[in-house]
Amino acid sequence: MAPILGIWASSVAQTADTGAMFPLQVITVGPAGASSVEFTNIPSTYTHLQIRAIGRSTRASVPSAYINMQFNSDTGNNYTYHQMNGDGTTVVASGLASQDAVYVQRFTAATADANTFGSFILDILDYKNTNKYKTIRSLGGSDRNGSGQIYFVSSVWMNTNAITSIKFTSEATGDFAQYSQFALYGIKGA
């Protein structure tokens, strides 16, 4: 029988929620913009990691720009991904292997309506497990001048090292705009 809140519940031993999320670090891009943002010295005291981001790219002549991610400064062709996106009318699926970064999502870019941002939530499963490759999944979207697009991406970093740093970059021709924000959380269990 589940305890009833109140006097009776106060006599029941309380246990920690094993799925609790703990804020670890937040990076907010300043007025000068940023070509990349990086989380470093990630502790190995959690089971999974989650990143929640909202941002905009300065890339010119397009409504949205790709966001890429690398782990532990690994620039080798050790990343692969599959993605599916839709805009309410069309659905597109694609994938690539042997990449030097993980394609994560898209942020709104220069030709999109002013002051609109894209966002995503990204999970990195078993990030400290040294017996397996690292699996990443993300869900996000960006405004494309009112039409919008949503993306679901699954990726793999083909490396068994524990993840200690995560670097995000916008496409080569654009930076992260001011007020873009990335928040890293640790998850104790699932």
Distance CA 177, CA 160 (A): 33
pLDDT tens profile 90-141: 899 999 999 999 888 888 888 888 888 999 999 999 999 999 999 999 999 8
* Cα distance between residue 150 and residue 100, in whole Å: 24
Task: Please state, rounded to an integer, the average pLDDT across all residues of the chain.
Answer: 87
Q: Give 95's contacts (C-beta < 8 A, 6+ positions apart).
A: 80, 81, 82, 83
- The reported pLDDT for the residue numbered 158 is 97
Q: What is the pLDDT of residue 114?
A: 82
Give the separation between CA 41 and CA 118, rounded to whole angstroms: 27
Is residue 146 over pLDDT 70? no
Higher model confidence: residue 172 or residue 136? Answer: 136
pTM: 0.86
| CATH architecture assigned to 18-187 | Sandwich (2.60)
- Residues of the chain above pLDDT 90, percent: 61
* Domain boundary assignment for the chain: 18-187
Q: Which pLDDT value is given to residue 12?
A: 42
- The secondary structure of residue 34, as a DSSP letter, is B
Query: Is 78 in a helix, a strand, or coil?
Result: coil
**How do residues 24-66 score in pLDDT, each as one tens digit?**
999 999 999 999 999 999 999 999 999 999 999 888 887 778 8
CA distance 41 to 169: 18
How high is the pLDDT of residue 66? Answer: 85
